[in-house]
Amino acid sequence: MEEKKAIIYVCGLTPYDSAHIGHARTYVSFDVLKRLLLTKGYGVFHIQNITDVDDKIIKRCMETGADPAKLTSENHSEALELLGSMHVLPADVYPKVTENLPGIISIIRLLLERGHAYENEDGVYFSISSFAPYGSLSRQNLEEIRAGARIAVDERKKDPADFALWKKTDGELLEFDSPWGRGRPGWHIECSAMSQRYARRTLDMHGGARDLIFPHHENEIAQSEAASGSKYCNYWLHTGFLTVGGEKMSKSLGNFITLKQALRDSTPNALRLFYLQAHYRSPLDYDPEKLRAMEESVERIFNSLGLIRELDADGDTHEDGEFRAKSDAFIASFHANMDDDLNTPEALAALFSLLRLANSHVSTGRHDRHQLRKIMKALEGMLWILGLVEAKPGIESRKEAIFSLLAEISPAEKPGSAEKALDSLVRIREEARKARDYKKSDLIRSRLKELGVILEDKAAGGIRWKMA
């Protein structure tokens, strides 16, 4: 990666339908990679295409009468909104196939001129025998690839494994002018053209789901390097399969789960944590029970962070050498595991060990405040890399009810915000409890609970509030 600049190309959606939980796993994985690079000072340029020309889009539009441009635009916008709610950082560009036809045609022309492609009555095809390294990414030899391709032999092709660069059509829903007649581009050439247009050099990283290794990414390499004469990409990353109930997602099996559905049942943080508890290359089975456990884990993370934040940095401090050594080791372990091919399961283990250690130290009452502040900053950095974002208490939406309760309990108080009103109610309740006015203290607690405000005892004494 030149001068700490990383160009990442991630295969984007074919938005003929709503995004599903498998898509989300892939985009969360690459989001974590991007966040890690940013924390290391890299300038990241992220390209993520939109495949708005595809057989599946044509089929869906023929079935429903939908307009292809409207269908793909609406589905992609919905997906970006859902992924945004999951804290996935947006790409720098989202190029569409329909906006890159001149570049696609230009590469096909070049491949024809250099003898890597040929035209027949059906379209323009890439000749795999013209590219010696073909099969190196998927680790297959040409005979294995040809054997697989013979299942559906097309006699018009010179080799059964040759793949389409341009498909000739006649009056189809999506077709465009080209030097070879009306038609549409092949799936693979689209990514080569879009990545070339925006990267303008060798990609540093390229990825997508595991099922794209062959033929999609294998074909991308062949056509890109045959056209340019230079290396297409330095590093390839592929996410493992996501199953539901141990089986591949399928509407016919009734186990197809959209991202929108998943986010009705789980918070974004819990879904992200569920994905990250497995290595990105490993298979993962969607499990609602594990997701519920992730909700509890997320709550533990932010409760522990909240307790550390509440400690007064200027109070008495008690240097604890053993605590410092152990906590520093857990922090180092987190980052070492993230640097080891995004080993998020081990990184999370280090994070939770650090939290347990910090909680135990806080409970002693003899605080090494300097180290706790260091841990707090380290935890905030870790959580940013993982994309786990602390939910902001939605107290302003309940401002009128909180003000009304305070006016009922203490009419003289005139707070400027809902947060200050809550602080006043907590203080008044504590004063009532110390004065053994349990009727008043219980009333405040129960009324706040009705508003979704939970009061908790702090380890160092006093009360903290949080939204349910």
Q: How far apart (Å, rounded) are the C-alpha atoms in residues 441 and 429? A: 5
Residue 47: what are its φ and ψ, rounded to 5°? -110, 130
Task: State the pLDDT at residue 150.
Answer: 54
Please give the domain boundaries of the chain with CATH numbers for all domains.
1-109+187-286 (3.40.50.620), 294-386 (1.20.120.640), 396-467 (no CATH)
In the chain, % of residues over pLDDT 70? 94
pLDDT exceeds cutoff 70 at 147: no
Q: Is the pLDDT of residue 452 over 60?
A: yes
Spatial neighbors of 457 by CB under 8 A, at least 6 apart, are 463, 464
331 contacts: CB under 8 Å, gap ≥ 6: 350, 354, 375, 378
The confidence score (pLDDT) of residue 153 equals: 55
Angle CA 14–16–17, to nearest 5: 110
pLDDT digits (tens, 9 = 90+) for 59-71: 999 999 999 999 9
Q: What is the mean pLDDT of residues 75-85?
A: 96
In degrees and rounded to multiples of 5, residue 186 shows phi and psi of -70, 160
b/e 288-313 (16+ beta carbons within 10 angstroms → b): eeebeebbebbeebbebbebbeebee
In this structure, the number of other CB atoms found within 10 A of the CB of residue 449 comes to 12
Q: How many whole angstroms separate alpha carbon 18 and alpha carbon 249?
A: 14
Q: Report the pLDDT value the prediction gives residue 393, as an integer from 0 to 100.
A: 56
- Beta bridge mates, 205: 8, 235
Q: Residue 285: name the closest of 328, 243, 320, 229 by CA.
A: 243
The model's confidence at residue 135, banded by pLDDT at 50, 70 and 90, is very high
pLDDT confidence of 419, banded at 50, 70, 90? confident
User: Which of 198-207, 302-311, 339-348 shows the lowest per-residue confidence on average (mean pLDDT)?
Assistant: 302-311
Sheet architecture: strand order including 163-168: 117-119, 123-126, 163-168, 183-185
pLDDT at 381 over 90: yes
pLDDT at residue 270 tops 90? yes
Q: What pLDDT band is residue 396 in, cutting at 50, 70 and 90?
A: low
Residue 361 contacts residue 376 (beta carbons within 8 Å):
no
Confidence of residue 456 (pLDDT cuts 50, 70, 90): confident
| pTM, full prediction | 0.84
* Omega cis (within 30) before 215: yes
Buried b (16+ CB within 10 A) or exposed e, 79-106: bbebbeebbbbebeebbbbbebbebbbe
CA dist 353 and 326 (Å) reads 10
Residue 43 φ/ψ, nearest 5 degrees: -85, 120
Classify 320 in phi/psi space as left (phi over 0), alpha (psi -120 to 50) or beta.
beta
Cα(204)–Cα(236) distance, integer angstroms: 9
Enter the tokens of residue 249: 């997602």
Q: How many residues does the chain have?
A: 468
- The average confidence (pLDDT) of the chain is 92
Could you report the per-residue pLDDT of 360-369, keeping only the tens digit for each? 999 988 899 9
Could you tell me if 26 and 208 are in contact, meaning their C-beta atoms sit under 8 angstroms apart? yes
Q: At what angle do helices 399-409 and 438-450 cross, to 10 degrees?
A: 170
Tally of CB atoms within 10 A around 139 = 10
Of 6-10, 121-125, 248-252, 387-391, least confident by mean pLDDT is 248-252
Cβ atoms of 103 and 194 within 8 Å: the answer is yes
Q: Tell me, what's the pLDDT at 223?
A: 98
Give bridge partners of residue 124 from the DSSP assignment: 119, 166
191, 171 Cβ separation under 8 angstroms? no
pLDDT over 90 for what percent of the chain?
Answer: 72
